[in-house]
Amino acid sequence: MSYRFSCNTTRLLRGCVALGLVFCAVFVMPANFAAAAPPAPTVEVNIAKFAFSPQEITVAPGTKVIWTNRDDTPHTVTSNDKSFASKGLDTDDKFEHTFASEGDFSYICTLHPFMTGVVHVRKQ
């Protein structure tokens, strides 16, 4: 009698474990995959011939913008609201900034203030 009981209990436990595994496989794992953040989109801006190119871009929130200095002259990427600022970038140096929230972010090269650019961050 007691053997039979323990046998049924073991079966019951096995059944519960199996159900639990199925539950995890069906419900929990897909949720985890869905929650995994996709890699941040990136947009490249060249600094060439004393100009930012493209001079104006529109990106979605969360986008990483990467500037690369293609000139032989140092330049900076400095936002007018001071929310981002590079050091002096030598030839082929890069500067990156991720735009978390919406807005219009104008920037200049502090060494050549006639060089201007703007990043519009908009939900798309």
Token pair of 77 as six digits: 């990427």
Contact flag: residue 93 with Cu ion (CB under 5 A): no
Contact flag: residue 109 with Cu ion (CB under 5 A): yes
Asked if residue 92 lies in contact with residue 85, where contact means CB atoms within 8 angstroms, the answer is no
Contact flag: residue 68 with Cu ion (CB under 5 A): no
Contact flag: residue 120 with Cu ion (CB under 5 A): no
User: Quick one: which of 52, 65, 75, 119 contacts Cu ion (CB under 5 A)?
Assistant: 75
Instruction: Measure Cα distances from 71 to 1, 43, 48, 91, 94 in Å.
Output: 88, 19, 5, 6, 12
Which parts of this chain interact with Cu ion (CB under 5 A)? 75, 109, 111-112
